[in-house]
A and B are shown apart, each in its own frame.
Chain A
Amino acid sequence: MSRHELDARRMLCPMPVIKTQNKVKGLSVGDILDVVCTDPGALSDIPAWARIHGHEVIETAEKEGEIIITVAVKS
């Protein structure tokens, strides 16, 4: 299991989702991905993407205008 970070700052949805999807393809089950973004739309879109692909959003946090969405790779 390893932890990774994805910089999706300044990208507007669906780009943060696309970047997350492509990054997760290269990860293994049990890995954790922190997606750092600035588009509030990602708060809805990344969890939706995770649900339909069998992954889990284990935490979301907002700090100084940035949003961090933590995805656990499950499948």
Chain B
Amino acid sequence: MAQQHKAIALISGGLDSMLAVRVLQEQGIEVEGINFYTGFCVEGHTHAIRNQDKEKEKRNNALWVAEQLGIKLHIVDVIQDYKEVLLNPKHGYGANMNPCLDCKIFMVNKAVEWVKENHEDGFDFIITGEVIGQRPMSQRKKTMPIVAAESGADDILLRPLCAKNLPATKPELEGWVDRKKLFDFSGRGRKPQMALAAKYGFTDYASPAGGCCFLTDKNYSDKLVDLWKGRGSRDYEMDDIMLLKVGRHLRPKGDYKLIIARDAGESQYLEGYRKQYMSIQAVSHNGPLALIDGDITPEDHEHAASIVARYGQGRDADEVEMTFTVPGQPVQNLHITPLSMEQVLEDWHV
């Protein structure tokens, strides 16, 4: 009886990796999935926070895909290790703060390490749903060999959807996988993938690849760069990257930034940070909770409160009572006049 070969598949939750797995399952390969959580993954977070998203279906697409395929999925926290990728990408950034090529190399390398650490499970090779030309930075014919080489995966990295456009890998050369039954997809078009999805009966799948990382988003990237500029250092903690996804961010002065909740769901979420951050909230009227990130001088307390009051129900009142809370200190009550719309300067918005 032929030996059963095993592959570990990088699962993003999108269609391409889903198809790549099914292509190999059709060839009798046993597959398990791996998903790396960098902290910047779009999955889950914001729709767990905002009121307007409360009714949306909550599902982690990577887990959902794994369940559809009938495979195990290992989710790995790589938040700390990912910092080096984001802060010092050897191959640079894409259109925003997205270090896509370094990111792909990092993830394939992590899969290589995971295979070594779990060698008793007998994984033979790694697969991805990459397609040549699908992504402008990381998925090009020129960069595919770079990913294989710099990740350390070399010839055990197989891309079933575009394998016929690339040199044969070990799984193909050894006959574990029939190269003839792999594909030659290329380009940004999605028609071949959609046709294959239809063939396999996949009717429900997440949006096309590329939309799974906050770092590809201009607004998010701008906030990240602003954070570094405001602190005078390019570094971040988990809480920082979470808070960049929440609220409206205003920087009235270089030293501090206001994170103002946009609805009750966000206020509730920010509530969990009040022991770590200074905060402002209206007490005489309904209004959002705001956190202060950075250093604010006592002279600026009232000004900051008057900005936050602008976003509450007391925005047109002559006076609003606000609380200014510094963790571990008595609460300060402020009586301020909310700023008018015109007084909230456009360039404060991050």
A interface, CB within 8 angstroms of B: 10, 12-15, 17-18, 21, 39-41, 43-45, 48-49, 51-53
Contact = CB atoms under 8 A, between A and B. Distances in A.
B59 A44 contact: yes
28 contacts: A12-B45, A12-B242, A13-B44, A14-B35, A14-B75, A15-B77, A17-B63, A17-B75, A18-B76, A18-B77, A39-B48, A41-B48, A43-B58, A44-B57, A44-B58, A44-B59, A45-B44, A45-B58, A45-B59, A48-B60, A48-B64, A49-B63, A49-B73, A52-B66, A52-B67, A52-B70, A52-B72, A53-B72
Contacts of B242: 12
B71 interface: yes
Interface in B21-66: 35, 37, 41, 43-45, 47-49, 54, 57-60, 62-64, 66
Contacts of B45: 12-13
Report the 9 A-B pairs with minimum CB-CB distance, sorted nearest first.
A13-B44, A48-B63, A41-B58, A41-B48, A45-B60, A39-B48, A12-B45, A10-B272, A41-B44
Contact of A17 (B41, B60, B67): B60
A41 B54 CA distance: 10
Given A21-B75, A44-B60, 18 more contacts: A12-B44, A12-B45, A12-B49, A12-B242, A14-B37, A14-B44, A14-B62, A14-B63, A15-B77, A17-B63, A18-B37, A18-B77, A21-B74, A39-B48, A41-B47, A49-B75, A52-B71, A52-B73
B267 to A, nearest CB: 13
Specify the main secondary structure of chain A where it touches its partner: helix
Contacts, number: 69
Contact of A13 (B35, B54, B60, B72): B60
Contacts of A41: 44, 47-48, 58, 60
Interface size bucket, B side?
Answer: 20 to 34
Interface of B: 35, 37, 41, 43-45, 47-49, 54, 57-60, 62-64, 66-67, 70-77, 242, 272
Contacts of B73: 49, 52
Contacts of B67: 48, 51-52
A13 B54 CA distance: 14
Contacts of A48: 59-60, 63-64, 67
B327 to A, nearest CB: 16
Nearest to B66: A52
A40 B265 CA distance: 12
Given A12-B44, A14-B43, A52 B63 contact: yes
Contact of A15 (B37, B71, B74): B37
A45 B75 CA distance: 12
Given A40-B48, A51-B67, A13 B77 contact: no
A40 B58 contact: yes
